[in-house]
Structures are given as structure tokens and as C-alpha cells.
Amino acid sequence: MSILKRLYDALNSPEFARYGTNVDYLIPTAATENGGRIHVKSKELLEIERPIPFERVTLAYPDDDFTRLLIAGDDQFVAHQTLTDLRMSSHPRNVGEIIFSAIRRDLEELKKTAPPSSFCLARRVFPGNERYFLFVLRKLVWVFGGGTIGPDFFESLRMAKSRQR
């Protein structure tokens, strides 16, 4: 089983997460002529999304050597707050935390230079490092569901692990 499928299964969140194989996904970009988007074919795709306010995190494995992480939304101010709500360590310990912390910093800079607007930020991830995103993605699903990162979140993780045994 692929790593993105394992991440999807571990999230156990069909209300926010979707998984697919051999699918197209859109990359918004001002450099294109077809409405500011390009279609990219992906062998695998994992999306975590909430509709209001619109925010989406996409892990896609296209036909090249890297997994793509894209974060898109309708408002960079809201997305920055969402990533702040994940309460990541100021000293990231793994690739997932490092990349999400960097994106939070990018959103902070974007907030300083532009009014609230749609955005899309992307990063390349070396294959094999996708597994380090699980904890951050679990936090994201929890926050998308209206939760805060605190004792309730960690208790839900503990309960989920005890059910797996």
C-alpha cells in the first residue's frame, strides 16, 4: 500500500480527506492563460479540505521524483491563523513540521504585502518523507472540525491508538 493511501487511512476522516489515484489536480497560477490554473496528472492524491472558509492541503505524487505539497485557500489571513492554531513547535522536529512551519512563515510575509486574497503555496517533498506529515495532518483535520490543539486532541489520539490494538 502506498504512503499517501496509508496517510489517508490513518486520518480516518472522510468528511475532510479524499484519496485518489490517476487523477488531475489544479494548480492556480497567474502565469497560465486558462483562467489562472494548470491541470497536473497525479499517480496519487491526498487532499484535506474544508469548504468554509475554503482551505485545502494537497499531497500529490505526479510522474516525477517528488511529492508535491500545495496549500491553497481563499484568504491567506485565515490560512495563517489555521496553521498557527496547529500549535507547532518553535523547533520543528521532522520534515512535516519543518515544511508547515515554513509555509506559515510564507503566509506571514504574504499577509504583510497583500490584502486578503486567494493563494496557493507549493513545496516539493523527497519521496519517503510523506510519513512525517501524519501528525500535522491529524492536527489539521482536528482544527478543520472545530477543535483546538490541547488535551482533547491528545486524548483522541490516545483513544485511537488503543482501538488499533
* Mean pLDDT (whole number) for 109-136: 88
Measured distance CA(110)–CA(74) in Å, rounded: 13
pTM confidence score: 0.87
pLDDT digit string (tens) for 56-69? 999 998 777 788 89
pLDDT for residue 84 is more than 80: yes
The three cell numbers of residue 116 are 486578503
Would you list the domain boundaries of the chain?
3-164
Looking at per-residue pLDDT, the higher value among 82 and 119 belongs to: 82
**What CA–CA distance (Å, rounded) separates 2 from 81?**
31
Tell me phi and psi for residue 13, to 5 degrees. Answer: -140, 70
| Integer-rounded Cα radius of gyration of the chain | 16
Q: Which three cell numbers stand for residue 162?
A: 488503543
The answer to whether 122 and 69 are in contact (CB under 8 A) is: yes
Query: Mean of the pLDDT values across residues 92-109?
Result: 92
Q: Which residue has the cell 492563460?
A: 33
Q: Residue 29 pLDDT more than 50?
A: yes
Binned at pLDDT 50, 70 and 90, residue 34 comes out as: very low
Residue 31 has pLDDT above 50, yes or no: no
pLDDT of residue 24: 78
Non-local (6+) Cβ contacts of 81 within 8 A are none
Q: Which of 141, 121, 133, 130 is nearest to 48 (CA)?
A: 141
Q: Which residues, at least 6 apart from 146, have a Cβ–Cβ distance to it below 8 Å?
A: none
**Residue type for position 120:** C
